[in-house]
């Protein structure tokens, strides 16, 4: 499997990006302002992440997704670790990530990759999304914020 940056003239894998975030408007903004990386397996895109500089010295993984048929095989972990290496090699001091309160698997993965919870953005998903979203039988209302020093 190879992880590489998407060239400027290539289409971003929108179906995958929308798995991580149902808001087309937010996703469009992320790919316009951030750097998009893809994981390729047998010439097919199996995963994606977008890295976005947010404040001086800080970068955020704003979107990460693996094709549903290929989840649970370690691709997500490799993408998160790639993002951490990428941020470190570009001299960033902090990398951040956020996920919904219902994202049990995501919270497990991010903490296994070294992220610590820094706070809760209460009602984030109520303020920014018009439709109610459920995951693991739990309504997504709050954004759990995580970070790690590089």
Interface residues toward ligand ACO, by CB under 6 A: 19-20, 61, 63-66, 71-77, 97-99, 104-106, 108-109, 112, 136-137
Least separation in angstroms between residue 107's CB and ligand ACO is 8
Which DSSP string corresponds to 10-50?
SPP-HHHHHHH---HHHHHHHHHHSEEEEEEETTEEEEEEE
Which is nearer to ligand ACO, 143 or 150 (by Cβ)?
Answer: 143
Q: Please tell me whether residue 69 adopts helix, strand or coil conformation.
A: helix
Give the CB-nearest residue to ligand ACO: 76
Least separation in angstroms between residue 44's CB and ligand ACO is 15
Which is nearer to ligand ACO, 52 or 150 (by Cβ)?
Answer: 52
Which DSSP string corresponds to 72-124?
TSSHHHHHHHHHHHHHHHTT-SEEEEEEETT-HHHHHHHHHTT-EEEEEETTH
Least separation in angstroms between residue 32's CB and ligand ACO is 17
Which is nearer to ligand ACO, 124 or 150 (by Cβ)?
Answer: 124
Which is nearer to ligand ACO, 9 or 124 (by Cβ)?
Answer: 124
Least separation in angstroms between residue 43's CB and ligand ACO is 19
Cα separation of 33 and 54, whole Å? 10
Count Cα neighbours of 111 within 13 Å in the Cβ-side half-sphere.
Answer: 12
């Amino acid at each position: 499997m190879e992880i590489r940056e998407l060239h400027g003239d290539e289409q971003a894998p929108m179906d995958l990006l929308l798995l991580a975030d149902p808001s087309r408007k937010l996703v469009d903004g992320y790919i316009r302002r951030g750097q998009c990386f893809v994981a390729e397996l047998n010439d097919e895109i199996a995963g994606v992440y977008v890295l976005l500089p947010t404040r001086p010295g800080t970068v955020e993984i704003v979107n990460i997704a693996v094709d549903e048929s290929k989840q649970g095989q370690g691709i997500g972990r490799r993408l998160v670790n790639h993002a951490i290496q990428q941020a470190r090699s570009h001299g960033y001091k902090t990398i951040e990530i956020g996920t919904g309160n219902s994202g049990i698997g995501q919270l497990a993965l991010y903490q296994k990759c070294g992220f610590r919870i820094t706070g809760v953005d209460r009602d984030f998903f109520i303020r920014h999304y018009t439709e109610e979203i459920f995951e693991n039988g739990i309504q997504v209302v709050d954004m759990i914020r995580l970070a790690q020093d590089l």
